[in-house]
Amino acid sequence: MKKLLGPSALTKAILLVVLTLLAALPLAQIAGLIDERGASRQAAANELAARHAGPQVVTGPFLVLPYTERWTEVQLDEKGVVKSRTEQSRQRVHLVFPERTDLRGKLGAQERYLGIFTVLFYDLQGSMSGRFPAFDPTALPQHEKGSTLEPQPPVLAFATSDLRGLQGAPGLTLAGAAGRWQPRVPGIPASSWLSHGIHAPLPEAAAKAIAQRQPLDFRLDLQLVGQERLAIVPLADENTAHLASDWPHPSFGGKFLATRRTVDAQGFQADWSVSSLVSAARSQLLQSMFAQNASPSALESFDVSLIEPLNVYALTKRAVKYGLLFVALVLMAAFMFELFARLRLHPVQYALVGLSITLFFLLLLALSEKVAFGIAYACGAGASTLLLVVYFSAVLQGWKRGLGLGVYVGVLYAALYGLLSSEDNALLLGSMLLFGLLGVLMIGTRKVDWYALSARDETRAAPASA
């Protein structure tokens, strides 16, 4: 009975499977190194944030009405007779939100460096205009029965998650009069993140408008620096915004996406329109004023981030995921050459080929930290292909064979780059690539007599063992 496969060929096939699986060890080490370098990059971003400014969450402006509530606490004895009266008081605060705000601004991208790492920052040149509704400044919430309220002068408050990003004091106009900013927000507990904002006492014209129950117009001009992400908390009844930038790689996020956006090679423009009917930002802000460990990043917002077009660590990590498949395809091609060209390749030679493929990913990581990812990939793939051409020309006993296998490896590298460049279609392209390679292999070997190849392999192996 004919054997399904000769012993030598079967042993070689099993050995190639083992070598492919062993390649997972260095690939895992390289993947771990990629994670480590990515963590170092994030540490650099955090250090730059500590030195300059972090991502910004813009909250405000809004009116703060501090007041004192006084009441008498009565204690009765067991017969219901008044035993004592104690005067109590508590500082409270009431917030008034705008009925509309409109933000117009331009984001200028800035690249800052720490070692070999690059971190994106932005410079927002913007203005925010809007109006506060007419309200009664004496109609304040009463928390204790029979208490009396003592209103204090209202102030305008404004906060960002990192005030160090403010480039100078923002320009402020209230009811046509200029306002001046002061540190902190009165009436807010010192433990609250909101207390670390800034406030402006109302100029006489603004205070008069509030006393007469008239709407209060405002305009705020600011220059704000932040790292990568800018988020706007929608506190008004109607919130609109228009942002433009010369950075062509934005990422829109937050609770509310842009209603209109255009992105091209010259940059992007985006518009937002958010109503208080669909936003819980106001109630979240009120709750966070007295909550422990509250953060402005927990508030609902609409935001835009300036991102790197190619994250070299993410792309290299994705490339490594194809590493085992890549090694298997190259070793399979070398095995086909061995069978059809009547050659004998030593397991050490296969191991060197697999090792050269795995080292490509390490080379890609090292180069991509110095130059653009496309250039790093081209250099790494070119060096790896050239090495395999030279090696296979000697191993396969002919430069044409070595060149042919080198072209095959080059096509695989090109296909891998296509997979990395098209993240949305990676699964489809990868499936088509594997199906195509399998189809070429099956069609190319459809008339091969594998029994004859196995017998010939056994005949060739016999004299060598004699």
pLDDT, tens only, 187-208: 888 888 888 899 999 999 999 9
Same domain, residue pair 366 and 221: no
Contact between 59 and 197 (Cβ < 8 Å): yes
Residue 47 belongs to a domain: no
Structural domain that includes position 338: 7-41+312-465
Which residue is associated with the tokens 């050490």?
A: 348
Same domain, residue pair 377 and 319: yes
Number of domains in the chain: 2
Same domain, residue pair 18 and 85: no
- Which pLDDT belongs to residue 156? 96
Of 138-147, 241-250, 251-260, the poorest mean pLDDT is in: 138-147
Q: Which of 306, 322, 354 is the last residue of a domain?
A: 306
Q: Which of 279, 306, 333 is the last residue of a domain?
A: 306
Q: Please, which residues have CB within 8 angstroms of residue 127's CB and are 6 or more apart in sequence?
A: 103, 104, 105, 219, 220, 221, 222
- Which pLDDT belongs to residue 202? 95
- Which pLDDT belongs to residue 332? 83
Residue 34 belongs to a domain: yes
Which residue is associated with the tokens 């060739």?
A: 460
Which run of H or of E encompasses 325?
Answer: helix 323-340
Same domain, residue pair 195 and 317: no
Q: Is the pTM of this model over 0.75?
A: yes
Same domain, residue pair 210 and 276: yes
Residue range 392-445, pLDDT digits in tens? 888 877 788 888 888 888 888 888 888 887 766 666 766 777 777 777 767 766
- Which pLDDT belongs to residue 424? 61
Same domain, residue pair 444 and 317: yes
Instruction: Identify the burial level of 187 via C-beta atoms within 10 angstroms of its C-beta, where 0-12 means exposed, 13-18 middle and 19 or more buried.
Output: buried
Of 263-272, 331-340, 349-358, the poorest mean pLDDT is in: 331-340
Q: What gap in Å lies between CA 182 and CA 201, rounded to an integer?
A: 8
Same domain, residue pair 295 and 318: no
Same domain, residue pair 102 and 231: yes
Q: Which of 306, 325, 356 is the last residue of a domain?
A: 306
Q: Which two tokens stand for residue 201?
A: 């006492």
Give CA 299 to chain center in angstroms.
18
Same domain, residue pair 73 and 219: yes
Residue 1 belongs to a domain: no
Q: Nearest Cα to 6, choosing from 463, 398, 459, 465?
A: 459
Q: Please, which residues have CB within 8 angstroms of residue 348's CB and are 6 or more apart in sequence?
A: none
Rounded alpha-carbon distances, angstroms, from residue 440 to 291, 433, 443, 445: 65, 11, 5, 8
Same domain, residue pair 67 and 20: no
Residue 231 belongs to a domain: yes
Instruction: Decide if pLDDT at 374 tops 80.
Output: yes
